Amino acid sequence: MAQKQPCVHLSVEPSRALLDEKFKVLVKNAAPGAELTLRSFHQAEDKHHWEAFGHYVCDSSGTLNLCEDLSLGGTYEGVEPMGLLWSLRPVPGSKPGLCIAERNVEIPMEVTISVYQGHLSEGFSEHTAVAAVLVERWYMAPGVRRIPITEYNLTATLFLPPGSGPFPAVLDLWGMTGDLVEYRASLLASHGFAALALDY
């Protein structure tokens, strides 16, 4: 009677964190020396789909650690613990010129991290992942205050860190967008800055 292959286990820690906080992706219980593809998938607010992926080979114990192991190919190469986030790109067939620009910083960016057998570069929807984890990346830390400002003909949002201050201050200006972009200011406030995002 054939021995049952143990289930591949995928963990991402922390599973809920700020967008710029590093995470640890760990795969266990794979076959020793197995070729695996780690893929991230994100549906943006505008409903466009984004993905990133790396090609890996497990060690002799069937373990893979993105903080230590090399990606041999994909949307990034080398030891890149955050490659599944920074190398996100529109899925093949998307319209040209897309960029991720989430408008509502009060909801998290949801990203699904998946493990696939073999080294895949396309056709992920035609394959079944052997493990998957949904993670949340937040733009605002708990306690950060978001204050819309419309006085003096301004279109702006003030983000204040938790506590009474005083805080170092940053004026966050974006040009050419034609809209108020808040995610950078909200992250700055999450790290202790009073940040004013101004539609300029």
Closest-CA residue to 116 (of 15, 39, 41, 45):
39
How many Cβ atoms sit within 10 Å of the Cβ of residue 137? 19
Q: What is the mean pLDDT of residues 95-116?
A: 86
Domains, in order of start, for the chain:
9-138 (2.60.40.2240), 145-199 (no CATH)
pLDDT in tens, 115-170: 999 999 999 989 999 999 999 999 999 999 999 998 888 889 999 999 888 999 99
Task: Return the pLDDT at 2.
Answer: 43
pLDDT band at 3 (very low <50, low <70, confident <90, very high): very low
pLDDT in tens, 85-98: 999 999 888 778 77
By three-state DSSP, how is residue 98 classified? coil
Task: Return the pLDDT at 155.
Answer: 85
Alpha-carbon gap, residue 58 to 122, rounded angstroms: 21
Alpha-carbon gap, residue 18 to 156, rounded angstroms: 22
Token pair of 4, please? 């049952």
CA 103, distance to chain mean position in Å, is 15
Alpha-carbon gap, residue 80 to 66, rounded angstroms: 7
By three-state DSSP, how is residue 157 classified? strand
Task: Return the pLDDT at 171.
Answer: 93
Q: What is the mean pLDDT of residues 14-29?
A: 93
pLDDT in tens, 164-200: 889 999 999 876 656 788 889 999 999 999 999 988 7
Task: Return the pLDDT at 29.
Answer: 93
Phi and psi at residue 121, to the nearest 5°: -125, -10
Task: Return the pLDDT at 177.
Answer: 59
pLDDT in tens, 43-56: 988 888 999 999 99
Q: Give the distance between the most distant pair of CA atoms in the chain.
A: 78
Provide the residue type at 24 as one letter. Answer: K
